[in-house]
Chains A and B, each alone.
Chain A
Amino acid sequence: MKILLTGLNHKTAPVELRERLAIAPEELAGETRALISHPGIREGLILSTCNRVELLVCYEGGEPELASYLNERFAVDSQSLQPHLYQHRESEAVRHLFRVAASLDSMVVGEPQILGQVKESYAAARSVGAVGGNLERLLQGALSAAKKVRTETQIGASSVSIASVAVDLARKIFGSLEGKRVLLVGAGKMSELAARHLMQHGAGSLLISNRTHERALSLAQKFKGHVVRFDDLHARADEADILITSTGSPEFIFRTPHAQQFLHRRRNRPMFIIDIAVPRDVDPEINRLDGIFLYDIDDLQSVAVSNLSDRGREAQRAEEILEHELARYQRRIETLDVVPALVDLQAAAEDMRQAELRRAQSRLHSLTPAQQGAVEAVTRGLMNKFLHQPLQALKAAAREGDLVTVEAIRAAFGLNGTSEATAHADQPAEPRTSNEPALTIKERND
């Protein structure tokens, strides 16, 4: 069984092309079913995220034309698709999948969503019976390697977007955001995004204030918040634990005396102020007050950049872990590879024994049943004794990854021609034909 991975990602294809090939989560199972109905494909999985579409298949015989499959399936002409596609085979495909699952191939290295998306694809493929022994082992290996990377490195520990940095900082101040109140002053894409992110992470309620009251009302409706009149802003700002401001005011809206009043009314409970406006809405001197934590857009940006460089360092450690895991996976696969050889060797010897007994039948038929039983036992014992050493040697060589010895034993017993046919013995979908190897051996012996 061979492995092939074909696909495109954010590095090789523009978003216009990626979105044409994107598969919705609810359609994954159906598409995977269609993929494995392709001739020669035994097992398959489709990974579709906003940054990549990849087809992973285990196949027999000639290499399947996955590119043409994509052309037909998504009605994309091959000329516009071909330059953006990459193909990985065998160990390279394994390495690629391991890197993808560990988020080392992501646009933002270390982002946590990809692992969940790989698991979703895996579940969808399993649900339609597209996962056999080979893909099962491969995905289990990739998922466990990804988990190891997550637990042993800090690759996903720090936030790299402005909104998530704001959430992280809020957590460092308040612990949980549960029940915390956010006040959004002014409007802007970035401030709305930060507010939305805070709400998603548990912030309790949202207050909105805007010079244009109607705008405040529409925002309040959108976020299910409450409006604070702009004239009441200084009187009510202390109700909020987190204040996000992004007005177009040319002057500071919040100065030190305001903040002192807030703290007094809050009995010194801390307040997190995020100033996204340019020019700034909050006097930077406010940050000197105990209990006030002021971050402007540059501060948030610099934290995000510094976290990103930390991730780069962690990614190097993650690559080392991945190499180790890949080697472990390969060793395991090699061990499993000798199982068919062991079975074939025993089957071939048994067939030989049966053939010899049949040949001697005319000379043995005068024997009593007890004597025939003795002959049966002697021949079986001889066969087992004869096979004992080669079987042990094969197992030991597989355990130690000694491929030279494995190949030598295979060659000595004439098993090389049969291993391909029996390599998928663990596949429920494709029952092994046990006669084939026996016949091969017999023919050679005859």
Chain B
Amino acid sequence: MYLLWLRIAAILYGIASLSAFRAVFGHRSVWRRICLPISVAAWLFHVVSAVEMLVLAHRWMPVGMHEVQSILALLIVTVFLVIALRYRTLSFGIFALPLAFLLVVVPTLGPDRHTFSSPVIRSGWLLLHITALLAAYAALIFSLLASLFYLFQERRLKSKRSPGFLNWLPPLDTMDQIAQKTLVLGFHCMTIGLFAGSIIAQESVGPAYFADPKIWLSFVMWGLYVVMLFVRRSTGLRGRRAVYLSSAVFVVMLCVWAANLLSSVHRFSAP
């Protein structure tokens, strides 16, 4: 049954994506009115699907790539909804909703064929580790998006021409606040996630866990994150340089995501 809810959520994400584009680039207010309710409906179906899936499996952990993707999409839409309600802007929807749609398309095809079978996955620490890191990824994506929007808006204002197709860009200050807040949120999530992961790895693998490429890349990402946060906070860094920094961390984040292929610690196969 959870697959049905997920499929409905996927269809609604698709419709919400279209309405976000129409709301941001079009003139008709009807799209602005329906975009948020459709997104909320999609999010609710997605939550129901995720909870049902985990309850049926008697665990609180996503155990395969499909499930992880689905949870990441859910977190991305959650952040989008929080921003849309707090800052009254749908602009992030043109990226966040299609991304969520693409992330849930594959999981809607069916359950994971290959799942992590290790008993460790039932551990609460691992739940904390994965959820916190997925939330950190979602927050970082939004921080990067906000920094990019800031850059476009800054260029637009400086060029003194006002191309109509960029009218939808939110004010600079809003972008700055979103970029800063999501960055701080992401940092907390990442710190918690890595801390939980380190404890699990110490327990199960021992001190050798630090040699794993995914793990040391994760710590590099965390270090970069600290630097980015420090620089942005201390100098009030905005605009182009902020985008460079966020992009660097984002690239490392993608490497960390991809490093699963090389990681022995993250196999989670049955012993």
Contacts and interface: CB of A to CB of B under 8 A. Distances in A.
A443 B157 CA distance: 79
B contact face: mostly helix, strand, loop, or mixed: helix
Given A175-B172, A293-B158, 20 more contacts: A152-B27, A153-B27, A171-B171, A172-B153, A172-B172, A174-B172, A174-B173, A175-B170, A266-B236, A268-B235, A268-B236, A269-B236, A270-B172, A270-B173, A287-B158, A290-B154, A290-B241, A295-B160, A303-B160, A303-B162
A189 B239 CA distance: 34
Interface in B205-241: 235-241
30 contacts: A151-B29, A152-B27, A153-B27, A154-B27, A172-B153, A172-B157, A172-B172, A173-B171, A174-B171, A174-B172, A174-B173, A175-B171, A175-B172, A175-B174, A176-B173, A267-B235, A268-B235, A268-B237, A269-B236, A270-B238, A287-B158, A290-B154, A290-B238, A290-B239, A290-B240, A291-B239, A295-B160, A299-B160, A303-B160, A306-B162
A310 B164 contact: yes
Interface of A: 151-154, 169, 171-176, 266-270, 287, 290-291, 293, 295, 299, 302-303, 306-307, 310
6 interchain residue pairs of minimum CB distance: A267-B236, A268-B236, A175-B171, A175-B173, A290-B239, A299-B160
Contacts of B114: none
Nearest to A269: B236
Interface residues of B, number: 23
B28 interface: yes
Contacts of A153: 27
Contacts of B160: 295, 299, 302-303
A171 B239 CA distance: 18
Interface of B: 27-29, 153-154, 157-158, 160, 162, 164, 169-174, 235-241
Contacts of A290: 154, 238-241
A235 B268 CA distance: 62
A76 B77 CA distance: 67
Contacts of A268: 235-238
Contact of B28 (A152, A172, A267, A299): A152
A352 B37 CA distance: 60
A173 B150 CA distance: 10
A174 B157 CA distance: 12
A270 B153 CA distance: 12
Contacts of A154: 27
A175 B178 CA distance: 12
A238 B55 CA distance: 57
Contacts of B235: 267-268
Contacts of B169: 172
Contacts of B173: 173-176, 270
A268 to B, nearest CB: 4
Contacts of B158: 287, 293
Contacts of B237: 268
B236 A172 contact: no
Contacts of A295: 160
A155 to B, nearest CB: 10
Contacts of B174: 175
B13 to A, nearest CB: 27
